[in-house]
Amino acid sequence: KAGVTQTPRYLIKTRGQQVTLSCSPISGHRSVSWYQQTPGQGLQFLFEYFSETQRNKGNFPGRFSGRQFSNSRSEMNVSTLELGDSALYLCASSLVASTSTNEKLFFGSGTQLSVL
Amino acid sequence: DQQVKQNSPSLSVQEGRISILNCDYTNSMFDYFLWYKKYPAEGPTFLISISSIKDKNEDGRFTVFLNKSAKHLSLHIVPSQPGDSAVYFCAASGTRAQKLVFGQGTRLTINP
């Protein structure tokens, strides 16, 4: 069974540009969550999608958005990039909503975004 | 508002000894706790979990302890092996928490 796939692995952008990251969950998983990892901040929750609906959103500005398609694949978009957006963006999938009892997240390898 | 805190950014332990990683939380609504392990250039992988109805859960060399009154959990690795060198994240959730909340991570280095 294939794991969570994130593309691209690395991205270099300049300030003001926008970027779209892609995530394909494990087959059969309906929930996709996005996290931002920066040194010293751990994994900061961005949002979660379940059956194409945004179920929850973290404390990030509106420049961060996402969506989920009918095949459960998800995309995350960041507009008007800032230097502080440089981070590892991780996608995780789960069978049901991530906060369901005993539910585990399965993470992809992430997309390393560098904003110059 | 950091609801899950790992106050030690790094920990160095000799091979064969016990590694103890600590985690504190503030939200009393959390009732399920997990530990994830992350190697460089890879995503975190699930290691072990514990429900609030228990105070201990063991899986091979890994044991997680939960002290609800102190809002504290710890991960014990015995004996520590070089392959255990990684970043460890604790995480917490609850039926009303709406999301899985992670700590900042602790980088564990096992020295031969």
d(CA A86, CA A112): 8
Residue B2's pLDDT band (boundaries 50, 70, 90)?
A: confident
Residues B23-70 have pLDDT tens digits of 999 988 888 999 999 998 889 999 999 999 999 999 999 999 999 999
Question: Is residue B95 pLDDT above 80, yes or no?
Answer: no
Instruction: Please tell me the predicted confidence (pLDDT) of residue A79.
Output: 95
Among the partner-chain residues B49, B89, B99, the one whose CB lies closest to the CB of A98 is B99
Q: Looking at residue B83, what DSSP letter applies?
A: G
Q: Looking at residue A100, what DSSP letter applies?
A: S
**What ranges make up the beta strands (E) of B1-112?**
4-5, 10-14, 19-25, 32-38, 45-51, 56-59, 62-67, 72-77, 86-93, 101-102, 106-111
Contacts 24+ apart (CB under 8 A), B64-67: B64/B33, B64/B35, B66/B33
Q: Which residue of B has its CA nearest to A36?
A: B102
Instruction: Please tell me the predicted confidence (pLDDT) of residue A101.
Output: 55
**Best residue in B1, B52, B98 for a mutation probing chain A (most A CBs within 10 Å):** B98
